[in-house]
């Protein structure tokens, strides 16, 4: 069995009705049969269309097929920084009468519109990213990003020599989850390694490429580059290749274990990546949102786990 299937099961005490249904296409899915009670309506909003969030959506659709008493409305932003797009999706779902929304928030800037939803009686479950300090959320279903960062830092510390220099490609500054991935990594990296650059990339591959090119030009002898999310690390790989460096000459470590990262790890081009479990986030997120909408008690935090992916175990993640 693949490592991601052996992860610890979630501690969810959610008494939900079971059934079977077929999933429709478009922006909503429902399996309500003629003559049955109106299904509860909930929303599921993700940041933007990439493999990570597509996996979440697919997991929610799979879950929904077995729950005909739930209608799921789907929404998505256009980028990892599209606060405006997610705000519009939330407003649209409120107008359509959802009882709960599970959302991967682009930033804490969404707090006001999410509080508006809560004030209207709609339960909010944050998926993948937290909004620290906001009391209106019912639950957070996410990776423990600080723990994931520490996992990466400890792994990297064993593979770079004391006195080495490295660079860090941050995600979107101010995003708590992405910031935790950097904070955690630095906490276990140790004092023997110096970080020479920490540019923000907004988790964008082109920005990662440009940042890595600048880093390699200014610091050609760096030993490693760590990325707080997958796309910038793939951009860094492009920069490393363009600089004429051989695979393994510079240690690249990512976070997400995206399909592109996994392919590069298998090829020996990227050394490692911290795996998250987006399918688990999706199914647990929607299940938790439905339970909260039905007045059931739900856990405040649900950790969906992390695992280090290297060439030795990458086959189990592909």
- pLDDT tens digits, residue range 45-67? 999 998 889 999 999 999 999 99
Give dist(CA 247, CA 277) in Å, integer.
27
pLDDT of 243 > 70? The answer is yes
pLDDT of 272 > 50? The answer is yes
Give dist(CA 300, CA 280) in Å, integer.
16
Q: Please choose, from the candidates 104, 77, 81, the residue with its C-alpha nearest in 3D space to the C-alpha of residue 92.
A: 77
pLDDT of 26 > 70? The answer is no
- pLDDT tens digits, residue range 80-93? 889 999 999 999 99
Percent of the chain with pLDDT over 70: 88
Mean pLDDT of 8-22: 36
**Virtual torsion, Cα 192, 195, 196, 199, nearest 10 deg:** 180
- pLDDT tens digits, residue range 185-231? 999 999 999 999 999 999 999 999 999 999 999 999 999 999 999 99
């Amino acid at each position: 069995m693949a490592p991601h299937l052996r992860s610890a099961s979630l501690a969810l005490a959610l008494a939900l009705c079971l059934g079977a249904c077929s999933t429709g296409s478009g922006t909503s899915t429902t399996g309500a049969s003629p003559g049955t009670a109106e299904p509860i309506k909930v929303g599921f909003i993700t940041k933007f269309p990439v493999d990570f969030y597509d996996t979440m959506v697919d997991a929610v659709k799979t879950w929904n097929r077995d729950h005909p008493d739930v209608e799921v409305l789907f929404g998505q932003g256009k980028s990892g920084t599209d606060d405006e797009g997610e705000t519009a999706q939330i407003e649209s779902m409120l107008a359509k009468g959802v009882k709960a929304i599970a959302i991967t928030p682009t930033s804490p800037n969404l707090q006001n519109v999410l509080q508006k939803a809560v004030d209207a009686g709609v339960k909010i479950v944050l998926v993948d990213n937290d909004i620290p300090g906001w009391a209106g959320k019912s639950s957070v279903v996410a990776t423990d990003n600080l723990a994931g960062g520490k996992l990466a830092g400890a792994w990297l510390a064993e593979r770079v020599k004391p006195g080495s220099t490295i660079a860090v490609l941050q995600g979107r500054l101010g995003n708590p989850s992405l910031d935790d991935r950097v904070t955690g990594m630095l906490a276990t990296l140790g004092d023997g390694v110096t970080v020479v650059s920490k540019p923000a990339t907004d988790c964008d591959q082109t920005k990662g490429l440009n940042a890595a090119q600048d880093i390699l030009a200014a610091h050609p002898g760096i030993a490693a580059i760590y990325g707080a999310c997958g796309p910038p690390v793939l951009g860094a790989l492009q920069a490393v290749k363009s600089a004429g460096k051989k695979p393994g000459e510079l240690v690249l470590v990512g976070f997400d274990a995206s399909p592109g990262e996994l392919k590069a790890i298998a090829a020996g081009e990227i050394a490692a990546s911290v795996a998250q479990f987006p399918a688990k986030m999706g199914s647990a997120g929607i299940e938790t949102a439905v339970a909260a909408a039905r007045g059931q008690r739900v856990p405040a935090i649900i950790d969906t786990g992390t695992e280090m992916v290297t060439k030795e175990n990458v086959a189990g993640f592909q």
